[in-house]
Amino acid sequence: MATKTTRLNDIRDGEVQEEEERNVVRELNLFVGGKKNKREEEEEEERAKEEHDVNNNHASNVGGNVLSFGVPSSLSVLPTSDREVKERLRSLDEPICLFGEGKAERRERLKKILSSSLSAAAATAAVAGTGNDEDEDEDGSNERETDGTFNRQRGRKRKETFYTEGSAILTRARMHAAKFSLQRARERVLTDINEDTGDIDKGKEEGEKSKGNEASDTFLNRRRKECADLNKSRFAPVSSVVGDSRPLSTVASLVLERYDESHHGLMLASTIKNERDSTEEDFNTESLGIVLSGSWTGAVKVWNVCNSFTKESREKEKDIMLNRSSEDNISCVLSHTVKASEERVTGLAFSPLIMASIGNEDLPVFASASMDGTCSLFSLSGRKRASLVGHVGRLAKVKYHPSGASIATAGYDKTIRLWDANTSQEIFCQEAHSRPSYNCTFNEDGSLLFSTGLDAYARMWDLRSGRCLWTMKGHSKGVTSISVDVTNSLCVTGGEDNLVKVWDLRKQENAYTIPAHSGLVSSVSFEPRRGCWFSSSSFDGTVKLWSTLDFSLLARLEGHEGKVMDCSLGSSAGRTGKSGKRFSSGKFSSSSYSYGTSDFGGFIASAGFDRTLKIWK
């Protein structure tokens, strides 16, 4: 009996040992990639069939959400046995064991791999399902197409250009901009050719031997000469007045042609009223221009910049004045005050048709923008003629189109808007920036509109088609000011990052960056006649003049006790007809007039936070 029991124990021990050996061999096969025996293969096939049946039953119960996407059933079941987990990892070409990894961590890793595989397989099946044959039922195909389109839109952002139907007034405005710009470009090119030809003929008369490259050098030579004269000059404030009881916010100036008799009818008065003692004094004046100043009180003041002498003082100081330059007698005389708004005035602009308004009080000659979101149009006497209402929130700047037929405004609602100057109707509203739009301007030909925003971008828009032609990227903070030269080749911008950037409009690239100031750049302006230099004003209390040849510093104007809020070089006011075509009389035209130091016919107007308006010459 004992012998029989011992034999049974030996048999059991042998079977256990054989089972352990098979387990060891199986584990080794997993690590070294050995082949499985038939018994193991049969067991796995039976197990796979059972899993397949379970998956089918589950899919039929829940509506087949997983298998309907064509996801393999082997990916939807997570094994519990560590050996099966290793086998599944090997079948997925994943390492079956990581350093320091236990059974629970290994199973969790497999779970994450299967989840990602399920998502990828479902997305692939959904996209592929949209391209099935046309013989499927209509409802099913529509659902698959909808799901596929939704998944594609979620997968990537699609960029496309969309158009909206414009109004009839927009069509007329675009046609007018196209015709006007072509005419202005033709006149500009012909003027440049005539000037170059005249300079060459003059050189031949003087006996200069320059034939081949003289025509191409005259333009640069003129700019070099003007920059050299400006560099030698010493600018000083020839007039400084207190503009208002609160800080000044903006300024605009209009330079009148010297030796041109046509502007005398435009003068506010040859007899100017003195507001301090309510008396009238008769002045003999040579007017240089008109200046508008806007302040935080909402008032716009009209100033006459002129060389003035009373009859009595003229006789008494006749001998002294014979030895003094006429620039020493420049004065800035207040004509009248216009209450433009109850809020702060943020922008001012003169109409190019100001000469056509002589004797006609119905024509507006300047526009003002304010923080209440309205743009008001006034005659020169201060009568309000129209209001442009449409912006939501604060209005930043306003500019007239070179033709005088339309007005552009930039607002804190992130839009720029174009208005009909005659009917006060809104022509279009363009979403220009992702943050508030701060400034806008036109090129000299009137074909392009430029906008700046506090999103650190400036953009160039084609008025003839409505397209955004170029986005100027380079500033690190908001862009506060912009100006374009008369040749339509350069553009300058100033920003909150204290930089002035020069942009090449033809190559559409940043030509130069000037670390111009130590504070925010409040304004930039090109010299209005030839564009050989430009100015920049800043919150650091200075106004600087820069050359367009090498972008070097030509002059530094200091005098304000605090921030310089705005600076204007003035727009030239030749006689303007009803069609908007500007021309001058005689040999003293705007194109031939010298801008040298002693013959500098224009002036610089600056408005400061110290409440002063300064005229520099």
Distance CA 216, CA 198 (A): 13
Q: Are residues 181 and 323 in the same domain?
A: no
Q: Are residues 423 and 333 in the same domain?
A: yes
State the pLDDT at residue 126: 62
Residue among 367, 386, 377 nearest 292 (CA): 367
Whether 221 is covered by a domain: the verdict is no
pLDDT at 176 exceeding the cut of 70:
yes
What's the gap between Cα 564 and its chain centre?
A: 23
Question: Which backbone phi and psi does 494 adopt, to 5 degrees?
Answer: -125, 150
Whether 279 is covered by a domain: the verdict is yes
Give the residue with greater pLDDT, 271 vs 373.
373
Q: Are residues 244 and 302 in the same domain?
A: yes
State the pLDDT at residue 615: 92
Q: Which two tokens stand for residue 283?
A: 């002045």
Whether 160 is covered by a domain: the verdict is no
Q: Are residues 291 and 411 in the same domain?
A: yes
Q: Are residues 199 and 248 in the same domain?
A: no
* Three-state SS letters, 430-497: EECCCCCEEEEEECCCCCEEEEEECCCEEEEEECCCCCEEEEEECCCCCEEEEEECCCCCEEEEEECC
Q: Are residues 284 and 416 in the same domain?
A: yes
What's the gap between Cα 215 and its chain centre?
A: 37
Count Cα atoms within 13 angstroms, Cβ side, for 404: 20
Q: Are residues 30 and 49 in the same domain?
A: no
pLDDT band at 44 (very low <50, low <70, confident <90, very high): low
| Angle value at C-alpha 335, between 329 and 337, nearest 5 degrees | 140
pLDDT at 167 exceeding the cut of 70:
yes
Question: Which backbone phi and psi does 150 adopt, to 5 degrees?
Answer: -65, -40
pLDDT band at 41 (very low <50, low <70, confident <90, very high): low
Whether 219 is covered by a domain: the verdict is no
- Residues in the chain, total: 617
State the pLDDT at residue 222: 74
Residues 6+ positions from 487 with CB-CB distance below 8 Å: 188, 444, 531
* C-alpha R_g of the chain: 40
User: What single letter denotes the amino acid at residue 195?
Assistant: E
Whether 156 is covered by a domain: the verdict is no
| Angle value at C-alpha 211, between 206 and 213, nearest 5 degrees | 120
Whether 309 is covered by a domain: the verdict is yes
Distance CA 12, CA 211 (A): 119
The CA-atom distances, in angstroms, between 391 and each of 162, 268, 344, 400, 428 are: 24, 33, 16, 17, 12
Q: Are 528 and 573 in contact (CB under 8 A)?
A: no
Distance CA 546, CA 227 (A): 9
**Could you read off the pLDDT of 311-322 as tens digits, one per residue?**
555 554 444 434
Phi-psi region of 384 (alpha: psi -120 to 50; beta: other; left: phi over 0): beta
For the chain, how far is it from start to end, CA to CA, in angstroms? 133
**Could you read off the pLDDT of 243-255 as tens digits, one per residue?**
999 999 999 999 8
Residue among 475, 452, 340, 350 nearest 396 (CA): 452
pLDDT band at 10 (very low <50, low <70, confident <90, very high): low
Residue among 600, 509, 494 nearest 543 (CA): 494
Whether 610 is covered by a domain: the verdict is yes
Strands of 33-120 (E only): list them: none
Q: Are residues 242 and 195 in the same domain?
A: no
Q: Which two tokens stand for residue 206?
A: 């003087």
Q: What is the number of domains present in the chain?
A: 4
Quick one: what percent of the chain has pLDDT higher than 70?
64
Long-range CB contacts (< 8 A, 24+ apart) of 178-183? 178/447, 178/464, 180/402, 180/403, 180/405, 180/445, 180/446, 180/580, 181/445, 181/446, 181/447, 181/463, 181/464, 183/581
Q: Are residues 48 and 186 in the same domain?
A: no
Whether 158 is covered by a domain: the verdict is no
pLDDT at 136 exceeding the cut of 50:
no
What's the gap between Cα 392 and its chain centre?
A: 19
Q: Are residues 380 and 396 in the same domain?
A: yes
**Could you read off the pLDDT of 363-412 as tens digits, one per residue?**
889 999 999 999 999 988 889 999 999 999 999 999 999 999 999 999 99
Distance CA 226, CA 214 (A): 18
State the pLDDT at residue 277: 42
pLDDT band at 67 (very low <50, low <70, confident <90, very high): very low
pLDDT at 146 exceeding the cut of 90:
no
State the pLDDT at residue 24: 57
Give me the domain span that covers residue 30.
Answer: 1-35
Residue among 167, 161, 178 nearest 465 (CA): 178
Provide the mean pLDDT of the chain.
76
pLDDT band at 7 (very low <50, low <70, confident <90, very high): low
CATH number at residue 608: 2.130.10.10
Which DSSP letter does residue 12 get?
Answer: H
Q: Are residues 566 and 458 in the same domain?
A: yes
Residue labelled with tokens 């042998």: 14
> Counting Cβ atoms within 10 Å, is residue 342 exposed (0-12), middle (13-18) or buried (19+)?
exposed
| Residues facing 535 on adjacent strands | 525, 545
Distance CA 362, CA 356 (A): 11
Distance CA 207, CA 201 (A): 10
Question: Which backbone phi and psi does 295 adopt, to 5 degrees?
Answer: -130, 180
The CA-atom distances, in angstroms, between 60 and each of 70, 77, 122, 437 are: 14, 16, 18, 58
Quick one: what percent of the chain has pLDDT higher than 90?
43
Distance CA 511, CA 81 (A): 69
Distance CA 452, CA 448 (A): 14
Q: Are 564 and 606 in contact (CB under 8 A)?
A: yes
Q: Are residues 202 and 290 in the same domain?
A: no
Q: Which two tokens stand for residue 372?
A: 């209440």
Q: Are 318 and 295 in contact (CB under 8 A)?
A: no
pLDDT at 144 exceeding the cut of 80:
no
Report the relative pairing of strands 575-576 and 571-573 from DSSP bridges: unpaired
| Residues facing 250 on adjacent strands | 294
Q: Determine the number of helices (DSSP H) and then strands (DSSP E) in the chain.
A: 9, 32
pLDDT band at 323 (very low <50, low <70, confident <90, very high): very low
Helix, strand or coil, per DSSP, at residue 367: strand
Distance CA 25, CA 5 (A): 30
Distance CA 595, CA 529 (A): 9
Report the relative pairing of strands 248-256 and 571-573 from DSSP bridges: parallel
Q: Which two tokens stand for residue 500?
A: 């002035």
